Amino acid sequence: MMKQKIKAVDFFCSGGGMTCGLVQGGINVIAGIDNDPACKETYVKNNPNSKFILADVFDLKEAELARQLSLKKKDDDLVLIGCSPCQYWSIIQTDKTKSQKSKNLLMEFKRFVDYLQPGYVLVENVPGILGKKDKSGLDTFVADLEKKGYKVHYEIVNMSDYGVPQSRRRFSLLATRLHDRKVFPVKDTGTRPTVRGAIGKGFKKIPAGHRDSTTFHHSTANLSEKNLQRLEKTTKNGGSWLDWANDKKLKRKKYHGREFVDNYGRLSWDKPAPTITTKFVSISNGRFAHPEENRGLSIREGATLQTFPTDYIFPGSSLGISAKIIGNAVPPHFARRLAETIVKAHSDR
């Protein structure tokens, strides 16, 4: 008898990075759930075989979701994924007022795990959730999984160890009640992927403010005349604002010593990119200037550094909305590695 294909429900799915990678790795994602209507079009256009549910998890009821998606309790072939946008637990010192509600999302996701008790549970989040695991609910989440017989493994991963061309540190948890052994992807050995390997070819030279009307979306943000002059004086392939720190016309008015050295910096061709954030189209928000050209990263370059396929469409007209969807995503390549690990473990039972 042929084994049923593993299926998954992707909570906090945003534009579908996790869904995309899981499908690449052989898992059938039957639904993605998110409360942000801005990400619906991106998710639906790129994941036609997955149902998009626009809902706030705080208002979603376990039994109703199970009925809507025909989910059964204790289904060995089911994966529940909770990649909540927990900026509240980020190590970056920012105003937490807007993200206050997000600090409880893990416990809301836990309701569905407790109700359905799937074969596998996946959680991906900011590293700060581990540093404050008593307050974030992680301690309770893990303890309850273990009481239910799950083998739980979690760690802080650098996704450059898993084929993603970024130094992107994230908390990753994979739990299963079907095995006594750890189920988790194995790190790559050898050199890490680089910016050159990701975007060194296949991208035509463009100026700042370029708008690409095709679905390739090689579009960039405008730059002020002063910022253009700053980039002209920034050393190619890895330079920073320190190159013009003492220029009376160009120097920054507010900075503290060498803090935030990455702001206004260029990427280095032969290193992984820094973390692609939701603000990667802005050179003032990190090391997001092109290694050679006098502009910031384009939407497609950011998506490629996040390992989205080149035919993944970001239909929104706003660069800011597309950048937010891309920066918030779980890199599909890492999601594929997770999926392949689950599929193999499932077949080896």
Q: Which residues are catalytic, by number?
A: 86
Maximum Cα–Cα distance across the chain: 75
Residue pLDDT, tens place only, 200-245: 999 999 999 999 999 999 999 999 999 999 999 999 999 999 999 8
pLDDT less than 70: residues of the chain = 1-4, 86-103, 132-135, 254-260
**Digit-coded pLDDT (tens) for 67-96:** 999 999 999 999 999 998 755 434 444 444
Please give the C-alpha separations between residue 166 and each of 11, 19, 123, 268, 327, in angstroms, as whole numbers. Answer: 24, 20, 20, 11, 12
Instruction: For domain 7-187+330-347, say whether CATH 1.10.3720.10 is its number.
Output: no
Question: What does pTM read for this prediction?
Answer: 0.92
Question: What is the average pLDDT score of the chain?
Answer: 91
Strand 28-34 and strand 120-125: the pairing is unpaired
Indicate the domain borders of the chain. Answer: 7-187+330-347
Q: Are 79 and 183 spatial neighbours (Cβ–Cβ below 8 Å)?
A: no
